Amino acid sequence: MSTQTASMQLDDFDGLIDWEKLKIWLSNTEALKSVSINSVSKLAGGLQNNVFLLKTDRQDFVLRRPRKHLKPKSNETILREARVLRALNGSAVPHPSVLATCDDETVIGACFYLMEPLEGFAKSGDLPGDYALQLDPRTRAADLAS
């Protein structure tokens, strides 16, 4: 079975994803070759990179790639992130499992990796209310995450 989309037009998100090349790459990736992409949304909260939720017929996964206009070492940084996440496998540290990594920037214009979704948020700026002022609320929040 090959990777396909459910007869819909997929947004390229201002050139961030070349769907035809991505579908070919997915069809050649053992763990993902039979997925069918049903929908895609760009997730908010990616502070330095672009993050997309891909809903498929089998499972949902997240594609993480650098911004459109690459900085020096953007590709190396994204590949290092994937290596760090893989190194956390088997540890008690909450982290998403990496499903596949692509070090060929010609596929979608940058290196990227695909991971399982993990609930959470990336906070930028000041923490609201008591979180910014007192240690106890931050400790309670961390305890809930473990």
The answer to whether position 136 is within a domain reads no
Task: Classify residue 50: in a domain, yes or no.
Answer: yes
Classify residue 84: in a domain, yes or no. yes
- pLDDT digits (tens), the chain, 146 positions: 334 444 445 777 877 888 889 888 988 888 777 777 888 888 876 667 899 999 988 889 999 999 988 999 999 999 999 999 999 999 988 899 999 999 999 999 999 999 999 876 666 677 777 777 778 877 777 666 55
Q: What is the pLDDT of residue 122?
A: 62
Domain with 113, as residue range(s), is 4-121
Dihedral angle at the C-alpha atoms of 112, 117, 118, 121, nearest 10 degrees? Answer: 70
Do the Cβ atoms of 115 and 32 come closer than 8 Å? no
**Quick check: is 103 in a domain?**
yes
Examine residue 105 and state whether it is found in any structural domain, yes or no. yes
97, 77, 74: which is closest to 87 by C-alpha?
97
Residue 94 covered by a domain: yes
User: How many domains are contained in the chain?
Assistant: 1
pTM over 0.85: no
What CATH number does residue 67 fall under?
A: 3.30.200.20
